[in-house]
Copies of this chain bind each other. A is one copy, B any other.
Amino acid sequence: MAAAAAAATSSSLTQSFLISKTNNFSIKTHTSNHHHLTFISTALSSPPIRTRSSRAYTIKAASAKTVTENQPSLVEKSVNTIRFLAVDAVEKANSGHPGLPMGCAPLGHILFDEVMNYNPKNPYWFNRDRFVLSAGHGCMLHYALLHLAGYESVKEEDLKNFRQWGSKTPGHPENFVTPGIEVTTGPLGQGIANAVGLALVEKHLASRYNKPGHEIVDHYTYVILGDGCQMEGVSNEACSLAAHWGLEKLIAFYDDNKISIDGDTNIAFTENVDKRFEGLGWHVIWVKNGNSGYDEIREAIEEAKSVNDRPSLIRVSTTIGFGSPNKANSYSAHGSALGAKEVEATRKNLGWAHEPFHVPADVKKHWNRHILEGASVETEWNKNFTEYEKKYKKDATELKAIMNGELPAGWEKALPTYTPEIPGDATRNLSQQCLNNLAKVLPGLIGGSADLASSNMTLLKMYGDFQKNTPAERNVRFGVREHGMGAICNGIAHHTEGLIPYCATFFVFTDYMRAAIRLAALSESRVIFVMTHDSIGLGEDGPTHQPVEHIASFRAMPNILMLRPADGNETAGAYRIAILNTKRPSVLALSRQKLPNLQGTSIEQVEKGGYILSDNSSNNKPDVILIGTGSELELAVKAGDHLRKEGKAVRVVSFVSWELFDEQSDEYKQSVLPSSVSARVSIEAGSTFGWEKIVGTKGKAIGIDRFGASAPAGRIYKEYGITVEAVIEAANKVC
């Protein structure tokens, strides 16, 4: 389609929808990396627009510039293509959110067509710019852009299958379904926090691995967030940290459309967001006309890139459902199909005479170049990396391991082992030993605590703090921001396969970050949740700090490992499992109090989930099976010793992870918990909810089905009946 046709289309719009020309778009050249210039000038006739550091951005942005200067109206056409792909997909599904894609199409177009650096044929290219749609309900925007850019994952068929069973285009963006989607969003505020994690990784790895002339790690993280994301506390937490860390390559667009589901944001959201973000330490820019102010958007991005010490928030005023004559600027454009009549009216209003899902040939042609350009950008990067590899072999090897997610041979040997003679310790301390040993062999291990490093015992002693001016360090200080911490770790995990983020707080405060933990499980991110103070055993802080139902609540959650190690070996074994499970997160419940190293534990047996610790029965026919986890395994052991002295055949089983035990063969399960033995007693300082599955209807689960109390730990254990005596009594009753 020619420019003339586009102009005709444009003239059919109402006055308020008139789209401004891009003639005033002025280009500034501030490129600091002059070593790139030769390459650029041979490729292009016009001067490159300012970029921060790498060749790649310059190519993309500059070539886009060339195109858009010659054919300004093609931009409008591309933008309307995006709008109608979204409208049509939602209409066909009769479900979805057309409003955001219609409003943010101009921004989306500029980002994917002019600004971002990616290779559609390799969505996992390491140095790509990351894009996160934090307002995940608007996912048709992202799918439309991936489609236009040439990603295999979103073909026309996929758009037509939007929100259908088995499609690549689910109702909210899911990284584990659709290559090109970086993280899983939809629950509001998560995406911006994930983006902080992505940008953290970029700054961290760049600082660790880049060398002069070899900016191997060098990309931006772009994110679109809406009013909902802004209202969520998790976004404030993460954005406070983003500024604290000076993540200058994080550029967030706030889709300020003044509409949320309940109507005008005036009913619940009247704060001054600009001022809040300035308070957080961000650079704030306002794009007044996000509907058609292409140059305004471009200039804002330029300005954001020129800021070198802090992240930027670009507030973009848009109209939700832009183009819909009767539903624009209203909540009715937000979360449901426009309806056939309104789709027709919108087509008319925007001069869009095409069939549903149509991509005009010139738009298609225009976008096609990204396939070549993307390949070329990656090739250039590969060339650079090859040179880097020659010059900096050790760094390159390490970085490659991070990029590929390969664990170094023999890494497991770093895990400490223990014998019963070694004095006992709190599993939180044993955890710190594991973390410190592992940090020496796992270059991708990075993490920290939500202001409880000295209680959670998470400091890596050989490293300093990851901070604005020391980003190569690996101790992350999250402050008292559990939810942000969890979501940031999801972003870290999804940046690159070999990164192994861990994060810590008191186990009870998983309640603060449960949404992020669930998303870790759903989105298959290998985050290690180091959760200490895992029961009433923490003592005096009382019931607000004592988890009770938390173990059960994670056992009920899909695709997550709930591990409660009993001593040094099991703690090491739990770390081994957490690291080996690349597609699921692990929650480690660790004690505040000292626990002895038990006879019979081992690193390896943890992978079975449940295993026999000791047994004086024969023929798989014990009189009673005592089952314990974590700090209560010791009680089961002691009760077992006592019962054996009384002549009983007793099996003691450590049940460190239900999920892992569930995954064992029936034969193995029978060898540990034979169906023929119904005399079973479990003990765990937590809710008994669910334990009937293990102890059966004739067994007895000893646990805590009420809230904790404030007192020294020993006293609470006694008052709550979590004792050796209780196990003995129960065992005598059931067998």
Contact = CB atoms under 8 A, between A and B. Distances in A.
A692 interface: yes
Contacts of A163: 540, 542, 710-712
A339 interface: no
Given A186-B541, A232-B233, A267 B697 contact: no
B271 A279 contact: yes
A15 B181 CA distance: 61
Nearest to A165: B711
Interface in A141-191: 163-167, 170-172, 174, 184-189
Interface string A464-481: 010100000000011111
A467 B268 CA distance: 9
A241 interface: yes
Contacts of A267: 465, 467, 477, 479
Interface stretch (A401-409, A437-445, A549-557): A549-557
Contacts of A362: none
Nearest to A167: B710
Given A231-B480, A232-B512, A710-B163, A543 B556 contact: no
Interface stretch (A365-373, A621-629, A701-709): A701-709
A280 interface: yes
A260 B451 contact: yes
A261 B515 contact: no
Interface stretch (A318-326, A392-400, A452-460): A452-460
A558 B706 contact: yes
A544 B277 CA distance: 28
A231 B484 CA distance: 10
Nearest to A227: B480
Contact of A545 (B172, B273, B465): B172
A715 B692 CA distance: 32
Of A93, A279, A545, chain B has the most CB atoms within 10 Å of the CB of A279
A483 B188 CA distance: 12
Nearest to A93: B540
B280 A276 contact: yes
A268 B478 contact: yes
Contacts of A642: none
Contact of A558 (B233, B281, B705): B705
A544 to B, nearest CB: 4
Contact of A543 (B166, B234, B449, B522): B522
A555 B707 CA distance: 14
A269 B711 contact: no
A72 interface: no
Contacts of A95: 539-540, 712
A600 interface: no
A272 B262 contact: no
A271 B96 CA distance: 37
Interface residues of A, number: 113
Most buried by B among A278, A544, A548: A544
Contact of A281 (B96, B171, B270, B481): B270
Contact of A244 (B244, B268, B542): B268
Contacts of A275: 275-276, 278-279
A611 interface: no
A268 to B, nearest CB: 3
A716 interface: yes
Contacts of A228: 451, 480
A231 B697 contact: no
A213 interface: no
Contacts of A136: 544
Given A186-B545, A690-B556, A480 B232 contact: yes
A243 interface: yes
B690 A268 contact: no
Contact of A279 (B184, B261, B279): B279
A515 B509 contact: yes
A122 interface: no
Chain B CB within 10 A, most for which of A184, A188, A706: A188
A147 B692 CA distance: 47
A514 interface: yes
A187 B236 CA distance: 18
A687 interface: yes
A684 interface: no
A232 B241 contact: no
A74 to B, nearest CB: 33
Given A95-B539, A522-B707, A244 B271 contact: yes
Contact of A710 (B170, B549, B692): B170
A480 B189 CA distance: 10
A303 interface: no
B261 A454 contact: yes
Nearest to A280: B271
A706 B545 CA distance: 30
B261 A272 contact: no
A544 B184 contact: yes
A421 interface: no
Nearest to A177: B710
Given A279-B276, A449-B262, A549-B558, A518 B512 contact: no
5 tightest A-B CB contacts, nearest first: A233-B233, A275-B279, A268-B479, A276-B279, A170-B710
